[in-house]
Amino acid sequence: MAGPALLSGVRVLNLASVGPAARAARWLSDYGADIITIGAVPARGAVQITPVFHAYSGHRGMRRALLDLKTDRGRETFLRLAEHADVVIESFRPGVVDRLGVGYEAVRDRNARIVYCSTTGFGQQGPYSQWAGHDLDYLAVGGYLAVGEPGARGNPALPGATLADSAGGGMHAVIAILAALVKGEGAYLDVSVADGVLSLMSLAVDEYLATGREPGYQHSMTSGRYACYATYPAADGRWLAVAAIEPKFWANFCRLLGLEQWIAHQTDDAVQDRIRADITEALAAKDRDTWTSILSGSNTCVAPILTVAETVEDPGYVSRGAFVDAVHPEHGDLRQSAPLLAGMLRPEPPVRLPAGTHSAEVLRESGFTAAEIEELLEEGTVA
Task: Determine the Cα–Cα distance for residues 185 and 180; give it in Å rounded to an integer.
Answer: 7
Which of helix, strand or coil describes residue 225? coil
Residue-by-residue DSSP string for 176-187? HHHHHHHHTS-E
Query: How many Cα atoms within 13 Å fall on the side-chain side of residue 111?
Result: 25
DSSP state of 260: G
Active-site option among 34, 165, 195, 278 = 165
Task: Determine the Cα–Cα distance for residues 77 and 66; give it in Å rounded to an integer.
Answer: 11
Active-site option among 72, 109, 134, 325 = 134
Q: Are 299 and 252 in contact (CB under 8 A)?
A: yes
Which of helix, strand or coil describes residue 243? strand
**Active site includes 165?**
yes
Q: How many other CB atoms sit within 10 Å of the CB of residue 352?
A: 14
Please name every residue paired with 302 in a beta bridge, in sequence order, or none if there are none.
242
Task: Determine the Cα–Cα distance for residues 99 and 107; give it in Å rounded to an integer.
Answer: 13
**Active site includes 134?**
yes
The residues that are catalytic are 134, 165
